[in-house]
Chain A
Amino acid sequence: MADRVQIAAKAAELDTLTSSPASDIIRQGPTKRSKAETRFKLYGLIAIIISLGFLAVMVTSIVVRGTGAFTQSFITLEMEIPADVDPENINATNWRGVMNRSLRAQFPDVKGRSDRRSLTRMLSSTGEFTVRDAVAADPSLIGMTANISVRASSDIDMLIKGNVDLNLPQGQRRVSDQQVAWLEQLRDAGAVETRFNEKFFTGGDSREPEQAGIWGAVVGSFLSLLVCFALSFPLGTMAAVYLEEFAPKGRISQIIEVNINNLAAVPSIVFGLLGLAIFLNFFELPRSTPLVGGMVLALMTLPTIIIASRASLRAVPPSIREAAYGLGASKVQTTFHHVVPLAIPGMLTGSIIGMAQALGETAPLLMIGMVAFIVDIPQGITDAATALPVQIFLWADAPDRGFLEKTSAAIMVLLGFLIIMNLVAIILRKKLEVRW
């Protein structure tokens, strides 16, 4: 009705227009309408530009912030290794003392407890282990003087990377003017250098940003995905085979189908609650482990895999099945010898995409306790572990400025994995897909 009223109004408008000279309409009408046309097209373009602009801003801001984490500042000091170090019992030596003494030797005029403390704070608190390990690796150093590089503390590392605003009053930044001056001296002595931070890729989590790495989280994610794939791939593909090839078209298969569609839209955190109530509290499986994480993720990715697998089974032409029946194959033989092998590439592609989703999932893992602070690299699926996105969440929450770049760098690694998985899926599809 409303449309009709509009049309009537338009017609009335046109009537008034026709009473004016015809040349006017020809001149005015089309330009006005073509302007509206251009404007509308522009709106669409602007919407796309804004959406992609968000993507660009997000990715660049993360890359800009994160690249710093791939390098780390080291301070090389001349250390006197005491002669009484026992190589059999290397932990008995006070390595922190050895490290701190060598730094104080560089600045003999620094007196007073608090000044000395602020001096030694320039070195990573984990530096003592670096010294210990260096001596353990080369016992001939005992009783000698050796140049050993230790990590700068995170605050100093930030200063060296230029992330500290020195124009701020001293009380508002984490580095004092004194420390800036000492760093200058060390720099002049050639003791400061920036190296590739291999620890970021090989280490576990740490309270100290300069020492923290993502390997523990990567292994945790990998183990969870392994469990997830081992469960969801067979379950998902077989369910798809049943629904597509065997299920009688009736109420039951319809219920299952509706069920799967709705399951795909259940918020991921609800799967976490399921895991907490059933896997942890009812079956009493170990908390915080990739085993339970993988099981929860498997239930979450199941709908994705089932839907993708059904689509790829549906793409296999009926002629294949008929040819198999014609040669006397049974239903099961037809399905598993002829139909499924042809559908496997599509099933795999769908599963890889499902795995990529699972890799980025955080919320359900929080529910089953994979948020604990874990330093050790997990050795198996029943070890307490965390996952890459959870590690990002934990670091994003940490107040230390040094964790900011670690968070961004961990995001870059996560996005890298996701890109690789999606590329593999695309290549697999291109290579193996059969066009009928």
Chain B
Amino acid sequence: MTLATETPPVTMAKDAGPSIVRSSSRAVVFDRLVRTVLIACSLVAVLTTIGIVASLLFESLRFFQRIPITDFLFGLQWSPQTALRADQVGSSGAFGAVPLITGTLLISAIALTVAAPLGLLSAVYLAEYASEKARGIIKPLIELLAGIPTVVYGFFAALIVAPMLRGGGDSVGFDISSESALAAGVTMGIMIIPLVSSLSDDVINAVPRSLREASYGLGATQSETIRQVVLPAAIPGIAGSMLLAASRAIGETMIVVMAAGLAANLTANPFEAVTTVTVQIVTLLTGDQEFDSAKTLSAFALGLLLFVITLVLNVIALKIVEHYKEQYD
């Protein structure tokens, strides 16, 4: 690689007759053209980011001209239904995002409670105990969970998980809403199991052998080594992978659209229906829309909020993982 970048492209043609010189100067032009095209292509990714930030910011600013940003960030009421006529009750709508954020966090927390132990324990088993052959079969099967489209999970959550939880709740005397945060959260947890397990797998494998061998040498068993040496050493990496999983859960849309509720309840009770940021974006923007109402514009403010939260989580997670990997290199 380093050699390749040091090699000057067109130099040897100078002494070799006029025709080659001409063709090589044409080659220089061609060379520049190709480079420009290639640079343009890689700038598309940058342009996409700029496009996302610009469009979200632009529409959000229009929203914040109508609704003060403090009302949006700290308001406890969310009911974006603006009335058709100005004299109707509640014509202004309420745009407090707090119930949406708590709803999103509640569902994501449930998802992580499901995915973190299952993903981590599977990763430990696969990395430390499973034979090469078993690993070759089990790992792709778990990865399959990640390949299933989220709309399928949403259908599964609404059709099977939610009624099952509701029935289970009824039989022990709990009142579980049919759009409970629990149903959406558990299903989302299943979806992110492979994410947690494959990231944790990488992290566990990055713990140097010497640490394990030192532990065995002191007479520890394999499980003692894992619990007292490998996992503590891998904690930063595991934390990073959990953050990535959390960011994924927060941005997940279809499962919550199909299985979570629409009403913005400010509650921490997992048996009640809550709504999320993504559900509200979808509800606000599907169907007919006028592009100047605060209702439609609020979806972009929510989008901006979502983008910022997930971006911050990702940046922190990637930093942690990178730092952790360097530690053992």
Please list the residues of chain A having a beta carbon within 8 angstroms of any beta carbon in chain B: 3, 33-34, 36-37, 39-41, 43-48, 50-52, 54-55, 57-58, 61-62, 234-236, 238-239, 241-243, 245-249, 255-256, 259-263, 265-271, 273-274, 276-278, 281-282, 299, 302-303, 306, 318, 321-322, 325, 328, 330-332, 334, 336, 356, 359-363, 366-367, 369, 371, 389-390, 392-393, 396-397, 404, 407-408, 411, 414-415, 418, 422
The answer to whether A234 touches B41, judged by C-beta atoms less than 8 angstroms apart, is: yes
Which B residues touch A390, using CB under 8 A?
151
- Return the chain A residue nearest B120 by Cβ: A47
CB distance from B316 to the nearest CB of A (A): 12
- Considering the chains assembled together, what is the distance between the CA atoms of A261 and B315 in angstroms? 9
Binding site secondary structure of chain B: helix
> Which single member of A274, A306, A393 contacts B258 (CB below 8 Å)?
A393
CB distance from B209 to the nearest CB of A (A): 20
Interface residues on chain B, size class: 35 or more
**Is residue B142 contacting chain A, with contact meaning CB distance below 8 A?**
yes
Which A residues touch B7, using CB under 8 A?
322, 325, 331
CB distance from B269 to the nearest CB of A (A): 24
Binding site secondary structure of chain A: helix
- Return the chain A residue nearest B258 by Cβ: A396
> Which single member of B38, B147, B150, B222 contacts A362 (CB below 8 Å)?
B150
The answer to whether B30 touches A411, judged by C-beta atoms less than 8 angstroms apart, is: no
CB distance from B234 to the nearest CB of A (A): 15
Question: Given A265-B314, A360-B147, 5 more contacts at CB 8 Å?
Answer: A33-B224, A47-B119, A48-B121, A62-B156, A265-B244
- Considering the chains assembled together, what is the distance between the CA atoms of A407 and B152 in angstroms? 9
Q: From residue 253 to 303 of chain B, which have CB atoms closer than 8 A to chain A? A: 253-254, 257-258, 278, 281-282, 285-286, 291, 299-300, 303
- Considering the chains assembled together, what is the distance between the CA atoms of A234 and B37 in angstroms? 11
CB distance from B312 to the nearest CB of A (A): 11
CB distance from A64 to the nearest CB of B (A): 11
The answer to whether A262 touches B315, judged by C-beta atoms less than 8 angstroms apart, is: yes
Which among B156, B224, B311 has the greatest number of chain A C-beta atoms within 10 A? B156
- Considering the chains assembled together, what is the distance between the CA atoms of A217 and B24 in angstroms? 52
Q: Which of B49-57, B70-78, B82-90, B171-179 contacts A (4 or more CB under 8 A)?
A: B49-57
Q: Mark B211-233, 1 if CB is under 8 A from A, else 0.
A: 00000000001111011100000
CB distance from B265 to the nearest CB of A (A): 22
> Which single member of B31, B158, B314 contacts A332 (CB below 8 Å)?
B31
Which B residues touch A256, using CB under 8 A?
42-43, 45-46
> Which single member of A36, A242, A306, A407 contacts B223 (CB below 8 Å)?
A36
- Considering the chains assembled together, what is the distance between the CA atoms of A356 and B146 in angstroms? 12
**Is residue B251 contacting chain A, with contact meaning CB distance below 8 A?**
yes
Q: List 27 A-B contacts (CB under 8 A).
A: A37-B222, A40-B223, A40-B227, A41-B125, A47-B117, A48-B125, A51-B197, A52-B141, A52-B142, A58-B152, A256-B43, A262-B314, A267-B250, A269-B303, A273-B52, A277-B58, A306-B42, A331-B31, A360-B147, A362-B253, A362-B254, A367-B286, A396-B151, A396-B155, A396-B158, A396-B159, A418-B149
The answer to whether A47 touches B125, judged by C-beta atoms less than 8 angstroms apart, is: yes
The answer to whether B149 touches A239, judged by C-beta atoms less than 8 angstroms apart, is: no
Which B residues touch A273, using CB under 8 A?
52, 55-56, 281, 285, 299-300, 303
- Considering the chains assembled together, what is the distance between the CA atoms of A142 and B154 in angstroms? 50
The answer to whether B151 touches A239, judged by C-beta atoms less than 8 angstroms apart, is: no
